[in-house]
Structures are given as C-alpha cells and as structure tokens.
A and B are shown apart, each in its own frame.
Chain A
Amino acid sequence: MFKRNAKGNTRTKLVTGAVMLVLGLSAAGTAMSTDTFGGGATLPAGGYVGFNFLNPAVKQSANTAFPTSGAAAVSSTSLFGAWAARTGNKVSYCQTGSGNGKKIFDNSDGTNHLTAIGACDGTTIGFGAPSSILVNPHFAGSDAPMSATEYNWFDVTGGKKTQYGEPVQFPAVAGSIAVIYRKDSLSTPLNLTSAQVCGVFNGSITQWSALTGNASDTTTIKVAFRSDGSGTSFSLANHMAAACAGTASQHFIVDQSFATAISQYKPTIPSGWVGASGNPAVVAAVESADGTIGYAESANLKAAASTVPHVKYATVGGKDPYADFPASLAVLVSSDRVLSGVNATTGRPVTAALTPFGQTGCMLLVDPAGYANITSRYPIMAVSYLIANNKGNTSTDVGAVRGLIGSAYADHTTDGVTTIGANTGYSFLSSTALTQAKVDSCVNI
C-alpha cells in the first residue's frame, strides 16, 4: 500500500505529469521572456532601440507589456531589438540623458530618493517602469562613465548596496559627434581642420571667412551649444583639448558642461551664442539661423535630417562622421578606474583607481585619451556605457540583464543589427576585455 502510494497510480502520474509540464512551461516562459527597464543617454538611443522615437517625439521606446501606449516601437534591427527577437525578452529604454539616467539607476541624486517606477518624461521622475518590476532598474545607459560620486550615491544615498551590491559598468558603443552648420550661401560642403573647430568653439574664429576662404564673407559666426551637461559636449572638448593644446593657463577643459569646457578662453559665454538643452534643440537652433555652427550626435542628426533641411555637417580633417567612422573600433579598457578630474595644465581627463565596495574588476572604463584625436578616421567621438547591478538581479531576470548588457559584444555578423556599424555614426567597440563572459561574471543574482 505504502509502495503503491509512493509511486502513484496511472491517473495520478498523468495529472502530476501535466501539472509539471504546465509548471515547467510556465517557468521556462518566465525565464525566456523578461521585461527589462532602463534608460539614460540619448546619444546611443538610436543604436539601442532604433529611431522610431523621433516621430512623434517621445522619450520612451518599448516592446514590453507596460506601458500599453505612448511608447515608440523598438526596431527589430536595433541592438536591443535584435537581442529581444533572438532571446524572447523585452526592453524599455527611456531617454533621460546620461546624468539623469545614472541618478535613477542609483535611486539617488545625492539628496532625493529616486526610482525607475515613474513616468518617462526625460527627467528623474522615472524610466517608465511598472511598480511590479523586480529589479529597480535593470540597467542604465550613459555617455560619460560613472564618477566616483555617482558610484557612491548607489550606496550612501541610494541605499542599494545591500540588495544590489554595486554598479557594474561596460562600454558598449561609440558615436561620432558632427560639427553642424547652416550657411545657405555655401555651395560646397565645409571641411574644417581641428584647429578651425577649436577656433570656432573657443571664440577665436568669429567670421565665416576664416572657414570658407572667402575673404569677403565677414559674416559673424553664431555658435549653438549644449546648455545642459552632456556626453556630447564632453566628447567635443575631449577632442579639442587633445588636438589644440593651448597653454598651461588657457586650454580647453574636458567637461560635460560646454561653459566649463571653454571657460579659460571665454569666462562668460559670448553674447549671440545660443545655448540649447538636448541634441534636437541644438540642431533646431542651427536650423533656425543662417550662419550658425553647433555640434550634434551624428546618428540622431542623420535620422532627423528631413526635418532640418538647412542643417549640414562638416568633415573634419577631410573625414566624414559617417563614412569615416568604422563599424568597429578598438578601445583601451581599464578595470575599477574612474575619471577623477582633469590635468591642471592641459585640461585633459585624468583617471584614478576606484576601490569597489562590491566585486572587483566590474567597473570598466575607456580612457578618453585613447580616442581623443585619431586623425586617420573621423576624430570626434563619444563612448557610451551600459550600467547594471552587480547582484539582486533575481533568478528570473538575471539571464535577460546579462544578455542585454552583453548584446554589444555578440557576433553582429549574424544578428541583423543595422542601426550600428558602417555609415551609421555608431561603432561597436572592440577590446580583449569586452566579452559576454565578463558580463556574466559581474551581473549576478
């Protein structure tokens, strides 16, 4: 009797089998379809999710169950879209800008408690994630690597250390930064030297004649710049500080603030220059006034070109931000280092060792000096990072988070990604340290 009960009769076996099958399928389904929520940097957004967010202009792109409306579709040929199609997982990416994205990821701006659960409106309100998310949030994107201060917010004011360990950071893609202009009288494309780029943005070149060679064109150059802190300004300054050395007391300062970047040349922004918040606003400022020069993320500019017909882009040193920006480029990656400031006499970035309060070897940094002025290709570029939690990714979500972060390191000859690569303005990154295995070791339950 005991023996029979232990084994069960045929009907019991069938019922048990059916239940186990259902449970098994359910578990497998859960594992195979995780909704991941993140956000941050605008520069790589087109590469990550495609450019459906441009028209109508929305901040959130998603193929997740939530939100049910209002988000742009994720392109199936984007990096995240291809990953989602390959794995069955889903993704939502909210464009808040790098700084806000890192604050939401940290659950802190240094003072206030923040969360990913909140509307995606480009601020620190949230990433548009539902209250049911198990990981808050799954990831963030940033065009500037985490500073030591941002790293510590995760623990000290964000209170995430116990549950989530530490932030882990991986360089994912690069994007070229275009020098854009509107000059209706110019019939040939503008080709600038790096010295001319520096001269325009430090205010020493003020007339178009210095750029076009047409001595009679004494029209004043109007400069449009990012008024918000941005990785785009950082990357422009990174190039200018390397290409135009200046002096010990007067040089560019590599900073996310454009005003800080040129402060040794122009302690106050010249009158007539136009500050605009966000990439589209700078492009719009250039479009709206003939004789204006600015800078913008190349890939986004290309996608929005039809809406700004007067805006052109310059080649720099004869190099085109699309044609001369390779499908893959090499980067120099260091572990557990952060940007600690700038060299006082050159203005160029300085890195320093980070003592992780979590797992060692998982905060990867690309030294900006390594890509500041490579003149054999288009020389002005940014590196964008993906950030995740070291632990607390839950058994149901961890596989998806690992795959999402590592999607940039997959074999892109087979996965159908078209938003990143040749002629897009985006490049994949290549280094011996950038592997899925490395991601897997740093993103845990």
Chain B
Amino acid sequence: MTTGRSTIKNRQATKRWLAPAARCAIPLLMAGMALPAAAHNKNAYVANEIDNTVSVIDTVTNTVTATVPVGANPLGIAVSPNGFGVYVANALDNTVSVIDAATNAVTAMVPVQNTPVAVAVSPDGSDVYVANANENTVSVIDTATNAVVATVPVGSAPFSIAVSPNGARVYTGNTGDNTVSVINARTNEVVATVPVGNTPSGLGIGPLGARVYVANAGSNNVSVIDAFTNKVTATLTAGNGAEAVATSPIGLPVYVSNSVDNTVSVINPLTKNVIATVSVENTPQSIAVSDSTGRVYVANAGSNTVSVINPYTNKVIATVNVGSVPAAVATQPQW
C-alpha cells in the first residue's frame, strides 16, 4: 500500500516515470479516440503562394495527386468539418476560392476585403471566417450562399484566424498591434482584445477550446490564453521565428513551426517542456495535424516541400514536393 505523501526523492522518481509514460500515453490516447468517418478522402491541401495553386496530397501515400489553380497569392487554407469544401484565401486578388474536395474543382470565388491571408471554418460548416490583413477585418462567408454576410473589425494586421471547437468564438492574431481579437461568433462583435507576444503569427486551439495557443514569431514563444478569462496564463518557449502552432487531436502535445530555425518544437503545454525539436526543411511557415492519424504536416516555404512528422517518434517520415512557396497547409478533419 502506498500513501499520498512523497519525498523529494520519490517525486523525482515519479517525474522520471511520468515523462516516458506520458510520451507513451499521448499516442495511445490518440489512437484510442473514436473518430467518425464523415469525410470522403484522406487528403492534405497545400496553398502554394507563388504559383497560385493548391497541391492535393494523398496522406496515405504522401504523394501529390492533383494541383488546383486558385487565385493570386494563396496564403491561407482550411477544410470544412465535413470534408467536402476547401477554402483558400487569395491575398493578391482579394478572394476566397472554394474547392469541391470530391472533384478538386473550384466552384466559387468569393470576393472579400483587401489582403485575405488566413481562413477558418466554423465547426458546423455554416460559416467561413477570413482575416483581411490590410483592412483589419474578418469577413464572414455564409457557405450556403458563398456570400459575405458580415464584416468584423479586429486588431491591426490580422495574419491568423481560428474558430473554437464549439463555434462560439473566433480568434485573430494581429501582428500589427501584438494582440488577439476575440469575436463572439453569434453577434460578430469583438468581445475581448488580448495582448500577447511580439508578432502573433499563428493560432491553435485544443479540442476542448479551453486554451488558445498563439505563436509569436517576434518573441519566439507561444502565449497560452485561457479561453474563459481571455487572459494569458502561460508562455511557452519555442524556437526562433515561432510562426505557426497546432495541437494534437487530444490537445497535447503542441506543435510549433519555427521559421528561422527550420524546426518544429514539440511542447507539453502542461509542463511547458519541449519534448522534442524536429528538424524540417527551410522556412516552415504553416502546420497542421491530422485528426485521424495525429501526423503533423509542415509546409516548408523555403524549400517547396511538406514535411510529415510521425507523432509517436517525432521523426520526419516523409517529405513531399509541392508547388512554389507553400504558405499554408490543412488536412481533412476526420476519415
């Protein structure tokens, strides 16, 4: 029989035991998640900034199976929760391309405001949110009509956007004033503005929506926002140029792409410890995690590739050649 008391010695021993146990438990938990098979393919989508295309990667074979022409300078990409629609923010022609995931055909081009750079889809798939960096706004697109139904003023130069898992909140990372705007998705009004680190470039939200992670490229760290209080409760040290952040399907670990170091930091947000630092290729700008496999997809803008990281080993298991300057990557939600 053991007691709840512990000495320094056995706490250290416990620590030694917990760390590897946690590392084992995380993938097991991920593997154990029951994921409904709603969508109809197993693709990842990569927006290629210079050649104005989207590369479609079959994540089973890690090969590009299609290349879809979109608008000018695509910088943001998101897949609808049902997997049917892919939305691409085209920064130079101020549009969002809508791709039918079944046919890889562009079915609509939705005009938004100046310099759309990031896009996210609501959990019910009814709304698409677009961050317009040069207008300091978010365009809300009704996916039923592909029409903009609201425009929400946010902070200065929003370069990233994310929606909470329950769809109640939309967050933008504003690089011009180093804040995160919190939008009430029901009223389309900003309800909080949260000061974060320098140059908040990427946003990630855990599966429960309790924590919002903000990758600060200018301060090389991640601000952790408590979604209930809208306050920063922790700061996680990352690599140089922490530009994008994503969580695993169970909420931990957190993956951060470091565009200056050419690495991905794998961080346990509970202990704030960096579990691993994974070398990828040049200028990793965007990161996405497959809900189904937990694999991490990293768009390397400087080498025209996507690195695929095995979450169990934290090793790169594939490098996929894509188009010119892959700026954003998204995966099919579940399959």
Contact = CB atoms under 8 A, between A and B. Distances in A.
Contacts of B260: 435, 437-438, 440-441
Given A332-B115, A437-B241, A374 B134 contact: yes
A370 B117 CA distance: 12
Interface residues of B, number: 40
Nearest to B201: A432
Given A330-B157, A335-B283, A367-B92, A432 B302 contact: no
Contacts of B50: 334, 337, 353
A411 B117 contact: no
B156 interface: yes
Interface in A312-363: 326-330, 332, 334-337, 353, 360-361
A435 B156 contact: no
B157 A328 contact: yes
B243 A432 contact: yes
Given A334-B325, A435-B199, A435-B241, A328 B177 contact: yes
Contact of B241 (A336, A377, A411, A438): A438
A434 interface: yes
Interface string B65-86: 0000000110100000000000
Interface string B112-154: 0111010000000000000001110000000000000000000
Most buried by B among A374, A377, A430: A430
B232 to A, nearest CB: 16
A204 interface: no
B237 interface: no
B49 interface: yes
A376 B113 contact: yes
A432 B217 contact: yes
A328 B176 contact: yes
A151 interface: no
A428 B199 CA distance: 13
Contact of B133 (A330, A353, A409): A330
Contacts of A327: 156, 176
Given A335-B283, A371-B134, A432-B175, 17 more contacts: A332-B75, A353-B50, A367-B73, A370-B92, A374-B115, A374-B134, A430-B133, A430-B157, A430-B159, A431-B175, A432-B202, A432-B243, A432-B259, A433-B217, A438-B241, A441-B240, A441-B241
21 contacts: A327-B176, A329-B176, A330-B134, A334-B50, A334-B325, A335-B301, A335-B302, A360-B282, A360-B302, A367-B73, A374-B115, A376-B134, A377-B134, A409-B198, A411-B178, A430-B175, A430-B176, A431-B159, A435-B199, A437-B240, A437-B241
Interface of B: 49-50, 72-73, 75, 91-92, 113-115, 117, 133-135, 156-157, 159, 175-178, 198-199, 201-202, 217-218, 220, 240-241, 243, 259-260, 282-283, 285, 301-302, 324-325
The 6 closest A-B pairs by CB, nearest first: A330-B133, A432-B201, A328-B176, A430-B157, A437-B240, A330-B157
